[in-house]
Structure 1
Amino acid sequence: MRFLCFPLIVWCLIVSSSSFAQQEIRLTGIVYDFDSNEPLPGANVYWQSAPQKGVVTDLDGAFTITVPDLPAKLVVSFIGFTESIRQFNEKDIEKDVKFYLKAEDLSLEEIIIQERRPDQNVKSLDMGKSVVPIQTIKNIPALFGEVDLLRSLQLLPGVQTAGEGTTGLFVRGGSADQNLIQLDGAPIYNPSHFFGFFSVFNPDALEGVEFYKGNIPATLGGRLSSVIDVSLKEGNYQKVRGEGGIGTISSRLTVDGPLLNENSSFVISGRRTYADVFLRLSQDENINNNSLYFYDLSGKFTFKLGEKDKLSLSSYYGSDFLGLSEQFGFGWDNWVSSITWNRNINERTFFDLNAYHSYYRYNLSFNDEDNGFLWDNVLSETGLRAEWSFLPNDKTQFNWGVHTQYFHFAPISLEPSEGSAIEPINTNPRNGWQNNLFVSAAHDFTARLRIEAGLRWGIYNRVGKGVSYVYEGDIPEPQAPILDTLNFNAFENMKFYQGLEPRFSMRYLLKDDLSIKAAYNRTFQYIQVATNNSAGLPLDRWVPADAFIPPIRADQVSIGLFKNLDRDKWEISTELYYKDFKNLVDLRQGASVIFTDNIETELLTGNGYAYGAEFLLRRNVGKTTGWLSYTYSRTWRRIEGISDDRWYNPRFDRPHDLTLVLNHEFNKSWSAGMTFIYTTGQAVTFPIGSYEIDNQRLPLYGNQRNADRFPDYHRMDASVTWKGTDKGRKWRGSWNLSIYNLYGRKNPFAYQFSDIINDEINFDPSGGQEIVTRRPGVVMTYLFTFLPALTYNFEF
């Protein structure tokens, strides 16, 4: 630990000494949208005499820039808005300034697909990072016409999908639980609706999303593979406005405006599907008694407490339920809340404090006289995060802070119905307490070289209340006898882990429009999902690290070239990465983790690695915008006791992944979008034969895991949007027609290996029909072919 900390301390001293060598005068301010009075993130701010030394406003529209010799003219610009130029004298820089930019009537050549500096991909330290504007997400053709954040991220290089229609993400060889998905700083443990077909994020309520898959900064941690940082938008401080849509299976509405006065605002957003309404219209009692719905509600309240302080309260609640008649019920609920305090201590120092609570509950019920039961489980995380930022000049930045987390995994409860033959099950709770310290520093050593170094230290305790089992030979196996049971009181330490996570990145400008970047990240993850499925199901069992389940660790090295063409209208980049995994878990053959309290007996631990090459070509400006991406990647694991102890591929290993996204503006009223996806089929295990039990033939599986593959997956989606004229109108509407799977490709979702009787796939033996023929067969299930959807969107 001393060895790793010492270089970082020396690094900080070197940077700080160069930073304070000269005392610079700095100007701070905020850039607003004139019409909505909302901050404008990504606006360019620079002195007219030195445009190459400009800065970009942050998510709050704020900026800090070094002042040259006065008088001087400051230029503030943002694509789609009228440029503002203001002259400053010495008396004008004593306090914060505000700029209000007016929207201009865009020509077709000024359409953009991202809110950032045109040359940011070349000149910033960002590597393996994507900032996806919400408007871009809304322009992508969608399943059932439902615009979806997570499904849009699947179109980026280095991101694999779980399968047809699902929102699960597999980033650079990592499983779905290795992604930290957070909303205003609060983690979301199940970010899906409708069994993974839609994500929990209503795009109308979002400000933006930052997606890290490579160079994860030291300020973020807790997961191995990626961070998806989603923020709810602030309300309008001047007037009430709204937007929403009426779609094929759901409708949504978002309203925002001033709350108490011009220094406070609110946003309220709701969405609900009405599939259950259509079910009730059926004349068939077996259908109209079913329930199938999801809904969510989110809100954010923001208060400006003066020129330097801002307080935000945000909350999200979502619920899903599937009920078949009155016999079967399956549902889950997400509820996350956070409070954030932002303070500008002075023109160089900033402080952010975030407190949050995330709650996830899921249950399963079965009403039957003989085997009825109710299965229920809850998990939650409560956290507090404080971060300080110090910018001594426009070349240097320091960040440091602390993050504490408390995990609570409630006991699993299986309560039999009255008269049921099922035995009740109650497991023990599992709790974890994690504290993190982090520090980082970034500095421009020359005009071409910028380096950032950071260190994150995670301190984890598995704590009571809980129990720990003592096994014979200290080896937890399914048949191993339990020698003793150790009981621990609340917050009593049960197991301790700690890990240092160094982070390093650099950018070197070969030319003004060409740079090379490199990064190294080490990350630890102290909680994970015990599963071998690839879809990220609502019933997945989360488990914290303990005496038998060590934390997983990943080391990633990446290098890339970034180039801009035709005055920043085009971006082209190539990234190579290698990732090494330690202490990965997978399930034993035939394992069951839903009802057991001895979950460690069902798991095996081993190592893995992943590598890949990512290519991206993107056009940002013009009538036609979009991107083309290609990824070649491989993922391998080796765990003793699985696949004859040989290297094998997890299900989400897909070597080839090609994506094309296009959007075209014909005129102010008509636009169109198209996406095309091609990937290698997912790795699976097919049976090597069959055997008979009680006159029923069952598939026989070999020892090799995931040695086979589904056929390659490909699909094209398209959409057309018509917008009504909005000049002088308070109500503005648009229609969107989207087609999912334009050419009707039957992509396999699952295969079933069973007997085909009398050449009928769904033969009913209870019908009394004579069995003439019986042969082994393979039945492919696919979900969607040609699927149109119509959505009406509106603003007021």
Structure 2
Amino acid sequence: MEFRKRKLPQFLGLFILIFTFCGHPSFAQQRDEVEGVVYDTDSGEPLPGANIYWAGRPQSGVVSDENGRFRLQKITLPAELVVSFIGFQEIRRQIQENDKPTKIYLRPEEFSLSEVVVSERRPDENVKSVDMGKSVVPIATIKNIPALFGEVDILRSLQMLPGIQTAGEGTTGLFVRGGSADQNLVQLDGAPIYNPSHFFGFFSVFNPDAIDNVSLYKGNIPAQFGGRLSSLVDVSLKEGNTNRIRGEGGIGTISSRLTIDGPINDKVTFVASGRRTYADIFLGLSSDPNIRNNSLYFYDLSGKVTYRPSDKDKITVSSYYGNDFLGLSEQFGFGWTNWVNSAVWNRTLSDKLYLDVNAYHSSYNYAVYFQDEESGFAWDNLFSESGLRGELVYMPKENLKFHTGVHTQYYHFSPLNFAPDENSNLEGITTNARNALQYNLFLSSQWEINPRFSAEVGLRKSFYQQIGSGVAYEYENGDPRTGVLTDTLNYGSFQTMQTYSGWEPRAALRYLVNESSSLKASYNRNYQYLQVASNSSAGLPIDRWVPADRYMSPISSDQYSVGYFKNLVNNRWEFSVEAYYKDFQNIIDLKQGANVLFTDNVETEILAGRGWAYGAEFLIRKNVGSTTGWVGYTYSRTYRQIEGISLGQPFNPRFDRPHDLNVVVNQQFNPKWSASLTFVYTTGQAVTFPIGIYEVDNQRLPLYSDLRNEDRFPDYHRMDVSINYKAPDKGRKWRGSWNFSVYNVYGRKNPFSYQFAEILNETINFRPTSDNPVTTRRPGVVKTYLFTYLPSLTYNFEF
């Protein structure tokens, strides 16, 4: 992949012209339309996907957008406006000639067993939209999926979709279409989260009670987003109820949660949410002091304030803070925190022009300490990203929309500090800070060319600078792989150390075969200027993020995909098949035995090469009725080829899993009782098993082949079930429900890890003594598994 240095002002001139065009008076001309916003009466939140039309003319209606907004061509007034949405009571309103933009509230219908809807989008959106590789999983559906320890988890629910794979048992890391976990942009209200997990990956940082919407893009990522190769997980905190104070929460097996929201006044609403585990409380009840003095917990807090100073403005400020800690007595401690802050201003400039501004700051840090007279230490690190995104949305016609804007980012990677205790025999280590700036300009358009053809075309331009203060190293023959240092270069604050830039075109096409089926195709190019250098595929809190520099070029990917989408039985059933091919350039991996945690010369431990992935994803989904759910199957292959690894031959990374089957079934028996079932089957992880044994200092050690990941774990499969009981409402303010779930219901012992060691006296952990000597020894494999069947009970409530 070729990168050229370009002058920023030249390209900026093009966007000045674009913004000048957007500011042309023709943009402010009023169209002969009626506009408004549709809200959910109970929650006070905007209602996307509502149908709006004039009485007697449903064929010329429109659908409200993601913010509940709509614009409908006028007819001779006065006339009757009809607003409807599945699961809500239809409303009809008389519109007069001089009526201004209006708010319309829809009230949910009473429970109807034959019309249980689990989709928060237009019933035919999967066919009619240009989107490919996009999935929206309603929060209500996520809460019904059986969960580990009864903890409803957003990221683990996304793993049930085609094209998304996991690192192993219990983890929330996502591996999307051949990409590694660090190639996913996970963001909350527009702010990135660098470690979106608790408990070493067993739970995600998102409290489902506080979440409004979750969207996953794994194919055609919109031009306004970038910086990652494989996917975008876009999570939004919900806004406060405008009508009354309300709350919801749950008391579970290992944690409890509470969310409260409501109005502060007629223009301001709030949401406040908290969650905490209490494993440490149970540890404190133990009679064993070695257990009683241990600590193990996580908690998270989130909040959002929404201010609507006028009908044309909305300002939201949100914040998230999460903390994990593991302590063994008072001798060892390990903790990490996420702190994410975001402010968003939405402004309606005219009936065709909208402005969105998003400022954010996200930081992540971890700390480890060990108290010991001879080898005690304290070790900590922090990195952060601050950004500002401005976006204009212009809708000159109902069938045409433009997005344009700019996004600036500042990365700061603090020095890694390893400080031995006063009397420790260890040596201190401090690395140099790393900083970078990134500028992104984007422009995209969505155009319904005619009733059959729609297109979305986008272009993103990214500029990246590694800046000081910092240090760069020079090596013999300019090759860091030699490890021979020849010079050290020091750079002052904000002095440019290295620059890269890249064009990122995107395009998607949709051809409507008929009202219930369509063909789609898309192409995406993305650049990523940050990578994780790690020996672990599962993702650890101490993973080393490294920015692009003079030796490590940014990675890029080109993805091509095609798909067929079909709805059946009046949109009650969806069927889709998508095929993709993805090509990676400058992808990195570590040398055999590399250690990058404490070195300032990371480039000496890294090798770069290419990769590719391909696959086909099948999905059949039922959205309406007493029985809902989906079946997804993926066939995929992922390869890497890097000189210096596996003899330079193509190899599979650990997350290459050719076959992946997921089944989700939700059954509503009556208003009180419901049940859910999930089943997962995947090919086992790719691993390297030893091919022999050799002796060193009277120790027998496993011998490995030069070829990487030629073996596999056994296939993974698991079934989870849950039963829900909801107490009758009867008009009471307090509404409760019970959830009983069993994780891994038939007790499958899926391997978490393998250890290759000598088995002494046919005992795994045999310790020889003078009275009990070694009599037999043989090479063996020790399999570790985490869970068999695991029941949990949760009480959920609303008030």
TM-score by length of 1: 0.96
Structure-2 separation of matches of 1:287 and 1:219: 50
Shift of 1:370: 1.1
Structure-2 separation of matches of 1:379 and 1:672: 43
Q: Check if 1:778 corresponds to 2:785.
A: no
1:477-516 mapped onto 2 (5 Å cutoff): 477=481, 479-516=482-519
1:125–1:72 Cα change, 3 Å? farther
Q: Check if 1:221 corresponds to 2:233.
A: no
Shift of 1:71: 4.6
1:417-428 mapped onto 2 (5 Å cutoff): 417-428=421-432
CA contact (8 A) 1:49 1:73 kept: no
Structure-2 separation of matches of 1:544 and 1:102: 50
Structure-1 separation of matches of 2:58 and 2:584: 44
Structure-1 separation of matches of 2:701 and 2:73: 73
CA contact (8 A) 2:22 2:394 kept: no
Shift of 1:54: 3.2
Q: Check if 1:416 corresponds to 2:423.
A: no
1:106-125 mapped onto 2 (5 Å cutoff): 106-125=111-130
Q: Which amino acid aligns with 2:495?
A: E
Q: Pick the aligned partner of 1:552 from 552, 555, 561.
A: 555
Q: Check if 1:29 corresponds to 2:29.
A: no
Correspondence for 2:576: 573
Q: Which amino acid aligns with 1:442?
A: Q
Q: Check if 1:186 corresponds to 2:191.
A: yes
Structure-1 separation of matches of 2:21 and 2:734: 58
Q: Pick the aligned partner of 1:369 from 359, 367, 373.
A: 373
Q: Pick the aligned partner of 1:44 from 37, 48, 51.
A: 51
1:13–1:306 Cα change, 3 Å? closer
Q: Check if 1:640 corresponds to 2:643.
A: yes
1:490–1:298 Cα change, 3 Å? same
CA distances 1:663-713 after superposition (whole Å, capped 9, x unpaired): 000000000000000000011111111122233221111111111100000
Shift of 1:769: 2.4
CA distances 1:59-80 after superposition (whole Å, capped 9, x unpaired): 3322223334545432211121
1:245-644 mapped onto 2 (5 Å cutoff): 245-259=250-264, 261-477=265-481, 479-644=482-647
Q: Which amino acid aligns with 2:45?
A: E
Secondary structure of 2:480's counterpart equals coil
Q: Pick the aligned partner of 2:132 from 127, 130, 140.
A: 127
Structure-2 separation of matches of 1:276 and 1:146: 17
Shift of 1:53: 4.0
Correspondence for 2:795: 792
Unaligned runs of 5+ in 1: none
Secondary structure of 1:90's counterpart equals coil
CA distances 1:100-146 after superposition (whole Å, capped 9, x unpaired): 11121121111111101101110011110011111110000000000
Q: Check if 1:205 corresponds to 2:221.
A: no
Structure-2 separation of matches of 1:457 and 1:65: 35
Correspondence for 1:148: 153
CA distances 1:514-534 after superposition (whole Å, capped 9, x unpaired): 111111100000011012421
Secondary structure of 2:253's counterpart equals coil
Q: Which amino acid aligns with 2:360?
A: Y
Q: Check if 1:173 corresponds to 2:178.
A: yes
Aligned alpha-carbon RMSD (Å): 2.3
Percent identity over the alignment is: 64
1:701-720 mapped onto 2 (5 Å cutoff): 701-720=704-723
Shift of 1:762: 1.2
Q: Which amino acid aligns with 1:45?
A: I
Correspondence for 2:246: 241
Structure-1 separation of matches of 2:179 and 2:575: 25
CA distances 1:724-753 after superposition (whole Å, capped 9, x unpaired): 011221111111000000111010100010
Secondary structure of 2:149's counterpart equals helix
Structure-2 separation of matches of 1:425 and 1:288: 34
Shift of 1:379: 0.4
Shift of 1:512: 0.6
Structure-1 separation of matches of 2:154 and 2:429: 38
Structure-2 separation of matches of 1:638 and 1:453: 32
1:643-682 mapped onto 2 (5 Å cutoff): 643-682=646-685
Structure-2 separation of matches of 1:284 and 1:429: 44
Structure-2 separation of matches of 1:194 and 1:569: 38
Shift of 1:7: 13
Q: Which amino acid aligns with 1:612?
A: G
Structure-1 separation of matches of 2:653 and 2:80: 58
Secondary structure of 1:286's counterpart equals helix
TM-score by length of 2: 0.96
Q: Which amino acid aligns with 2:250?
A: G
Structure-1 separation of matches of 2:371 and 2:771: 29
Correspondence for 2:85: 78
1:591–1:147 Cα change, 3 Å? same
Shift of 1:225: 0.3
Secondary structure of 1:287's counterpart equals helix
Secondary structure of 1:347's counterpart equals coil
Count, aligned residues = 791
1:627–1:4 Cα change, 3 Å? farther
